[in-house]
Amino acid sequence: MTRPPVAPPTRRLFRRRDGRLIAGVASGLSEHLGIDVLLLRIAFVASIVLGGLGMVLYAAFWIVVPQATDDPAPRERSESRVQLVGFAALGAAMLLFAQLLGFGAGLIWPAAAMIAGAAVLWRQADDSSRNRWRSVAERQRTALSGTRRRTTLRYLGGIALVLIGMGTFLATQNAFPVARRAFLPALVATLGIVVVVGPWLLRYWREATEERTARIREHERVELAGRIHDSMLQTLTLIQRRADDPEEVRRLVRHSERELRGWLYRPAQPAASLRGMLTAACAEVEDEYDVTIDLVVVGDLPATADVEAIVLSTREAAVNAAKHSGVRTISVYAEVGATELTVFVRDRGKGFRIAAIPEDRYGVRESLIGRMERHGGAATIRSGKRIGTEVRLTLPLKVSAGV
């Protein structure tokens, strides 16, 4: 199968989630432009204090530039503390700037409260629009872990800050009597707008949600159909063509069964791990020798030279079983223990006498026993007419590397 060459990704400007201080504008810009992020941040703060341009720019970027969706989610705790510092610095800069302009405290503090509240609300909206991209399962998990309550608290806190700001502003301007007189008309007007526009907004929102769901579903369907078309359909065609060759048909069926199982049950298996390597090795032997291998793995390890050695020995043992045992089913069991890694390869075949292996039989002596010993492990073989053959491979683990 050939793949079209992967096009180089177009460089688009995103706000970064990791390494952000406030909304990720500076770190996103720094990545896009290749300028040190510290320089950009200093420039922003300086221009806020000196003329306010930086603040307008920052706000514009925050609103216009989308958040990156593919980078790793930030480590919540330590990051939010850093962000707090960022917000505090921004606040201080803004206060300083306001004082330079000559506004009185009666104006600055209400404004500060309102802006802080607005910032909390905006950030929250930022996060929830990102959440939409996350998988349903992940969202359920976060919902279970109490994040939802914290989100609500943050929304309420933000709204409270804005209201306090508005209240203090009115109070300091001695505008309360005016506000009270204007309150009722304003309320009536707002209610009127809600009544008139509300149903329309609601319908629009519902339609948008439905459309999004349908689009996601369609996307998944197309993807799955593509895979099935590519693999299953091709296999079926091949089977029809090779119907008179049972061995080849078995091989084809086994291959596509394995592929389908991979998609269904083990979607993300790292190839460079004990489990991934054993799965691949067993698949090769199944395809090559027309046997079925029952693979069970307990625990996992990252791939190292030692792990690779035991996987190669496992493959060798499975090949021997496929070639000489006379049965078509082989069991492979691997267990990562606290101190050692053990693999058993077993068949219920006719067995053999170990003493009868000639000195020069390269396979068993070299590939199995020799290789394991070179890597500090061992290989033992039990075989007999009644029990079949079982090869036991062990590898001591240096540190407690078990996962």
Partner 1 sequence: MVRKTRVVLVDDHSLVRSGVRNEIGGRLDVVGEAADVAEAITRIRDTKPDVVLLDVHLPGGTGDAVIVAVHAVLPDVRFLALSVSDAPDDVIRVIRAGARGYVTKSIDGDELATAVERVAAGDAVFSPRLAGFVLDAFTGEAAAAPPTTELDVLTPRERDVLQLIARGYTYKEAAEELFLSVKTIETHVSAVLRKLQLSNRRELSRWVSERRLLP
Among 198-206, 213-221, 276-284, 290-298, the segment contacting partner 1 (CB under 8 A): 290-298
* Of residues 326, 322, 328, 392, the one with CA closest to residue 354: 392
User: Contact letters (x/-) for partner 1, 321-360, by CB under 8 A?
Assistant: ----------x-x-x--x-----x-x-x------------
Contact residue for partner 1 among 221, 266, 328, 398 (CB under 8 A): 266
CB of 275 to partner 1, least distance (A): 11
Please state the separation of Cα 144 from the chain's center in Å.
Answer: 19
The count of residues interacting with partner 1 (CB under 8 A) is: 22
- At residue 184, the 3 state secondary structure works out as helix
CB of 332 to partner 1, least distance (A): 8
- Is 385 a binding residue for partner 1 by CB under 8 A? The answer is no
Count of other CB atoms within 10 angstroms of residue 165: 20
CB of 346 to partner 1, least distance (A): 5
Token digits for 384?
A: 């007999």
Strand 340-347 to strand 388-396: parallel, antiparallel, or no bridges (unpaired)? antiparallel
**Which residues within the stretch 176-195 sit at the binding site for partner 1 (CB under 8 A)?**
none
CB of 261 to partner 1, least distance (A): 6
| Nearest to partner 1 of 123, 392 (CB atom) | 392
Query: What is the strand order of the sheet 329-336 is part of?
Result: 292-298, 329-336, 340-347, 388-396, 378-384
Contact residue for partner 1 among 219, 261, 328, 385 (CB under 8 A): 261
CB of 150 to partner 1, least distance (A): 21
End-to-end CA, the chain: 35
- Is 203 a binding residue for partner 1 by CB under 8 A? The answer is no
| Nearest to partner 1 of 77, 386 (CB atom) | 386
Amino acid at 43: A
d(CA 323, CA 290): 10
Place of tokens 């000639």: 358
- Is 143 a binding residue for partner 1 by CB under 8 A? The answer is no
Q: Please check whether residue 233 is in contact with residue 240, taking contact to mean a CB–CB distance below 8 angstroms.
A: no
| Nearest to partner 1 of 171, 387 (CB atom) | 387
- At residue 75, the 3 state secondary structure works out as coil
- Under DSSP, the state recorded for 331 is E
Q: Please check whether residue 348 is in contact with residue 327, taking contact to mean a CB–CB distance below 8 angstroms.
A: yes
d(CA 26, CA 58): 8
Q: How long, in residues, is the chain?
A: 403
Beta bridge partners of 383: 389
Contact residue for partner 1 among 387, 396, 398, 401 (CB under 8 A): 387
**Which residues within the stretch 293-322 sit at the binding site for partner 1 (CB under 8 A)?**
294, 296-299
Contact residue for partner 1 among 1, 7, 63, 264 (CB under 8 A): 264
Listed in sequence order, the residues at least 6 apart from 29 whose beta carbon sits closer than 8 Å to its beta carbon are 13, 35, 40, 61
Among 98-106, 181-189, 257-265, 364-372, the segment contacting partner 1 (CB under 8 A): 257-265
- Is 138 a binding residue for partner 1 by CB under 8 A? The answer is no
- Is 276 a binding residue for partner 1 by CB under 8 A? The answer is no
- Is 91 a binding residue for partner 1 by CB under 8 A? The answer is no
Contact residue for partner 1 among 265, 268, 305, 358 (CB under 8 A): 265
| Nearest to partner 1 of 63, 338 (CB atom) | 338
Q: For residue 307, with 0-12 CB atoms within 10 Å meaning exposed, 13-18 middle and 19 or more buried, which class applies?
A: buried
- Is 137 a binding residue for partner 1 by CB under 8 A? The answer is yes
| Nearest to partner 1 of 261, 361 (CB atom) | 261
Positions touching partner 1 (CB under 8 A) are 137, 140, 261, 264-266, 292, 294, 296-299, 331, 333, 335, 338, 344, 346, 348, 387, 390, 400
